[in-house]
Structure 1
């Protein structure tokens, strides 16, 4: 039977194909598409290896490892794109990752879970605390953007210095959210997740069944390192071919950064969230979707700002007003839907409709911009 594990294993064939496309000069479009498909299973292996290692490290260190490597693929792609000077693509991917997790992933989870189970529930307390953190992320993006938009001729270096200072604050807040969830208020997150059966992740997990034996730690460390290395190689191919390929495919860099890059980097994680939602485990599904958004906003984005400062690239938190509006809309709708701790297929449809509308707006954005 065709399942997620089989599909991801088959996609590994695109690793050698993408490398061949690069050395045999098959064209930017072929390189872009094959490297994108190759990253998807590699990201899944990174996630699986991280989870297996976390089992050995225990709840605290394991949780910290998961929190650090949860969006490692997107971070790698972002750093390589940043080093290549593709600042707009990096910012667009941050926007798209937050949008995608809150609207696309949570929407699909609520829709497909709601079609199988009439109504599903999850912890509203956790949803509200996550909502507060996401609101902070929006404020952190709003202030540099507002300063850049309202102060004519503001020096680029000033915006970058402000962004670096804000990035440090966001990373500190991210650390405090980890302390809250893994140490001082673990009981809030254990409810619902404690009922999780390891078999519930079987369709989305690439790992063999270790329930009857110990985890092979050296093996999974090797898998994590190997997958990370190959992801870096594939990300390099993806970034090198991005501009030319997207132009040939009739797409803009903005649309590619907002829609395609986040889907590529998070496909495996998205599959996990949807799979567990269809098994009536909405606590875990919402935790994956919202937790990933928080990690992007409070950890990945600030790290990329600091990396831009180190690389000498003008990476800051000054987003285009259109991108900021999209993030604010995604956070507002997701907070509204998740605040009551229950979900159904209609709420999932509304989230997907919001994602579709925003996606269409980004697709036509150059036309709108040109008319304006």
Structure 2
């Protein structure tokens, strides 16, 4: 079945979840229906951004794609942050990084490898992304290390350190955009060309930019509404459904927010366009680590819901392991189905570990 048809069918969960909210249905029903409603909204947000990018040109279009690439996760996380669920936000951020590196790239390499014996992609950009992910791990690790190697350090100090680190990460993110779209854009031309040819031919007409801007605004509002319903029902629903809190934050919520990107990465991999597939998976992880997480730290500081970069050590271990194996597998610019299995197996092991890990304070 065509993925766009599946996303269109899932739109039915929008009125169901909103109706459930006003009729005071059980929190579990509202939680599950709003989660399902976010999936197609995220897909249409991505489609609207791509259509607008066709009209505004490659530079501004590339910036829009980079900015809106993880808008769903940013909106969901911001609403959770506004509600004071800081640990949920942290868990969702680490889960998004892990999911993109292991689940998305794993499925892409596995299913693409079943159809094509070996698939190639640009190793230079993969190594650059790997180096950037290493920086992200260091940036997440050090505030936590400061907290655990100090005695009596004030939360305000960790918060100030986190804001300073967040500014550094956002600066690096801006420089990576400048690098990929301006000074070294030729390294990324293959992925761009594949994206344009995904449907076999270039579009014969210019999209109506105002129509797609309107759709983007409506869909963004829809994501905000559904995220509000999801966050409101989160704590009670997870208890009713028997889902461990940490598992919900790290595994369940990121899969919902990233479902549309997952489908895109796997679909293009099965068309032997592994350059674009790897770019989607690694690029999304980088956006989360270098842009979304720092923005949330600064936003929390501004709105009076302090969020620092002092993560649960177990979450950091999971991120470091994910980055390590993803970098190891992607560094040679070649993939096959067994490498996809290795990534998926790592994800399953990490998911099991989070399932059996006791819930941490603030997630229960």
TM range (shorter): over 0.9
User: Alpha-carbon deviation of 1:99?
Assistant: 0.2
User: 2:204 aligns to what SS in structure 1?
Assistant: coil
User: 2:332 aligns to what SS in structure 1?
Assistant: coil
Structure 2 equivalent of residue 98 of structure 1: 97
Task: Identify unmatched segments of 5+ residues in structure 2.
Answer: none
Structure 1 equivalent of residue 70 of structure 2: 71
User: Alpha-carbon deviation of 1:137?
Assistant: 0.2
- Match among 209, 223, 235 for residue 217 of structure 1: 209
Structure 1 equivalent of residue 330 of structure 2: 338
Query: CA deviation digits over 1:192-214, x for unaligned, max 9?
Result: 5425553x359xxxxxx982222
Structure 1 equivalent of residue 47 of structure 2: 48
The answer as to whether partners of 2:196 and 2:202 remain within 8 angstroms in 1 is no
1:127 and 2:126 aligned: yes
Indicate how the Cα distance of structure 1 residues 337 and 301 shifts in structure 2: closer, same or farther if over 3 A, else same.
same
Q: Distance in 1 between matches of 2:90 and 2:304?
A: 16
Q: Which stretch shifts more, 15-24 or 248-257?
A: 248-257
Structure 2 equivalent of residue 16 of structure 1: 15
- Match among 288, 299, 302 for residue 294 of structure 2: 302
Indicate how the Cα distance of structure 1 residues 192 and 167 shifts in structure 2: closer, same or farther if over 3 A, else same.
closer
Indicate how the Cα distance of structure 1 residues 201 and 312 shifts in structure 2: closer, same or farther if over 3 A, else same.
farther
Query: CA deviation digits over 1:44-103, x for unaligned, max 9?
Result: 010000001111111111100110010000000000000000011000001000000000
Q: Distance in 1 between matches of 2:6 and 2:199?
A: 15
Written as runs of structure 1 = structure 2, the 5 A alignment for 1:165-204 is 165-191=164-190, 193-196=192-195, 198=197, 200-201=198-199
Indicate how the Cα distance of structure 1 residues 79 and 126 shifts in structure 2: closer, same or farther if over 3 A, else same.
same
Written as runs of structure 1 = structure 2, the 5 A alignment for 1:183-262 is 183-191=182-190, 193-196=192-195, 198=197, 200-201=198-199, 211-262=203-254
Structure 1 equivalent of residue 316 of structure 2: 324
Structure 2 equivalent of residue 115 of structure 1: 114
- Match among 295, 312, 329 for residue 304 of structure 2: 312
Q: Distance in 2 between matches of 1:343 and 1:38?
A: 34
User: Alpha-carbon deviation of 1:314?
Assistant: 2.3
Q: Distance in 1 between matches of 2:142 and 2:47?
A: 37
Instruction: State the TM-score, normalized to the length of structure 2.
Output: 0.97
User: Alpha-carbon deviation of 1:368?
Assistant: 11
Structure 1 equivalent of residue 24 of structure 2: 25
User: 2:358 aligns to what SS in structure 1?
Assistant: helix
User: Alpha-carbon deviation of 1:227?
Assistant: 0.1
Indicate how the Cα distance of structure 1 residues 51 and 271 shifts in structure 2: closer, same or farther if over 3 A, else same.
same
Q: Which stretch shifts more, 189-198 or 77-86?
A: 189-198
Spell out structure 1 runs of 4+ moving beyond 2 A. Answer: 191-198
Q: Distance in 2 between matches of 1:194 and 1:98?
A: 26
The answer as to whether partners of 2:166 and 2:298 remain within 8 angstroms in 1 is yes
Q: Distance in 2 between matches of 1:365 and 1:201?
A: 44
Q: Distance in 2 between matches of 1:368 and 1:300?
A: 23
Cα RMSD, aligned residues only = 1.5
Structure 2 equivalent of residue 144 of structure 1: 143
Query: CA deviation digits over 1:157-215, x for unaligned, max 9?
Result: 111100000000000000000000000001111135425553x359xxxxxx9822221
Task: Identify unmatched segments of 5+ residues in structure 1.
Answer: 203-208
Q: Distance in 1 between matches of 2:51 and 2:298?
A: 30
Q: Distance in 2 between matches of 1:178 and 1:150?
A: 35
Query: CA deviation digits over 1:273-321, x for unaligned, max 9?
Result: 0000000000000000000000000000000000110111120100011
User: Alpha-carbon deviation of 1:146?
Assistant: 0.2
Q: Distance in 2 between matches of 1:114 and 1:324?
A: 30
Structure 1 equivalent of residue 267 of structure 2: 275
User: 1:26 aligns to what SS in structure 2?
Assistant: coil
1:286 and 2:278 aligned: yes
